[in-house]
Structure 1
Amino acid sequence: MIDPREEEIYQDHVMDHYEDPYHHGHCIDATHMHEDDNPLCGDVIHVELKIDENQKVKEAWFSGDGCCISQASASMLMEKIEGLSVDEVKAMSANQMLELFGARLTPNRQKCCLLSWRVVQQAVHSPLK
């Protein structure tokens, strides 16, 4: 069981990413892009990536609308994947995404958290040119 003080730290971390998201907006010179939604709640995440010739994620940006969980998890994920290789991004599991988020979530709320992960998994396979 998570210590209540630790849970509070996780919640503060989530709110920090929600209120001041990392790379929220559009990527200039994006090479890859994908968008998807969670039809159960209406959350939408749009991801734009700049992947270089060495197959490294140079920039990762997101935009969208939705709950605190979907938006904060997108921010956390953009920060995490910058600098990773495309293969490292592809290898990232749903469980690793939930661990990155940190706070405990119900199964329905896990879908909110995993939306950005699903979109990134598709974006690396969706070149613009």
Structure 2
Amino acid sequence: MNDLPEDVDCFSIEELATGELAGESVLWGVDTHNRSAHIGLALRPGHRGRGLAVDALRAMCEYGFAVRGLQRLQIETLGENAPMIGAARRAGFTPEGTLRRAAWVYGRFLDEVVLGLLAEEWRAAQAG
């Protein structure tokens, strides 16, 4: 029995060269009316810095846009998470704004950055 809510799809990230579990990616907050969702991504420390985040984000875009028929995907990450912001930008996401002091992390408030990608932008990048 699956205990996940209907608006969440979870995936494992495998490093193909080694077959090791590298992390997980999640499509969450799936809104079927507005055809949008959020992407979450977590890599195990030993698998960071190898380009896996960009590959995983591209795979999630393929799933979200081509399989689920969504029109918008969004990522929220901490403003100081430069590796994730860079990976999202390399995967085609556009920074859309900063939510100032929106996240309570380890006893302090931090900014969150919102990045978005539209289906037509993704299709154009795939065609070009």
TM-score bin (small chain) = 0.3 to 0.5
Q: What TM-score, normalized by structure 2, do the two folds share?
A: 0.32
Q: What TM-score, normalized by structure 1, do the two folds share?
A: 0.32
- Structure whose alpha-carbon radius of gyration is higher: 2
Greater fraction helix: 1
Higher RCO, Cα 8 Å, sep 6+: 1
